[in-house]
């Protein structure tokens, strides 16, 4: 007597966006990519491999250099937005120091965010080989994954 149980009935598969925001592994969506949460004073280190499915995140030496370009684009967007908001709130166009201070503050405040999410964007949406695998997700949830 064989019982055919669909995986969707057993486990609630997290969405791609929720997994990316939470910093989960792109292949199994359960293991953490980073050693500490985003808003903590502990280490901002990224795990070498997924603790759940053993996926090696850096597929080749220097792979995360591409994340610097993504982080740069994010920084430019944040700087433009912060300066536009500053102008909208103050109406001041005469003082360049106001904009320099706002730009430096935005850069420092958003640096941890940019570091983390530039790598998440690279792994989730710019690397085709790191796609979600429902079979690996199920094996991780059941504890039957063999590394």
d(CA 133, CA 77): 33
d(CA 86, CA 93): 10
Q: Is pTM beyond 0.75 here?
A: yes
4: left (phi over 0), alpha (psi -120 to 50) or beta: beta
What pLDDT digit, counting tens, does each position of 17-42 carry? Answer: 999 999 999 999 999 999 988 887 77
Alpha helices of 4-130 — where are they, by DSSP H?
Answer: 7-10, 16-22, 65-90, 96-125
What pLDDT digit, counting tens, does each position of 69-123 carry? Answer: 999 999 999 999 999 999 999 998 888 999 999 999 999 999 999 999 999 999 9
């Amino acid at each position: 007597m064989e019982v055919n149980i669909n995986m969707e009935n057993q486990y609630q598969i997290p969405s791609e966006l929720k997994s990316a925001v939470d910093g989960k592994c792109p292949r199994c969506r359960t293991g953490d990519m980073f050693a500490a949460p985003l808003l903590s004073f502990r280490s901002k280190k990224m795990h070498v491999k997924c603790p759940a499915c053993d996926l090696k995140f850096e597929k080749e030496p220097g792979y995360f250099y591409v994340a610097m370009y993504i982080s740069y684009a994010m920084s430019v967007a944040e700087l433009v937005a912060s300066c536009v908001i500053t102008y909208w709130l103050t109406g001041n166009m005469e003082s360049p120091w106001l904009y320099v201070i706002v730009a430096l503050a935005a850069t420092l405040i958003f640096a941890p965010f940019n570091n983390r999410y530039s790598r998440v964007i690279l792994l989730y949406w710019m690397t085709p080989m790191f796609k979600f695998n429902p079979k690996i997700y199920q094996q991780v949830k059941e504890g039957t994954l063999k590394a």
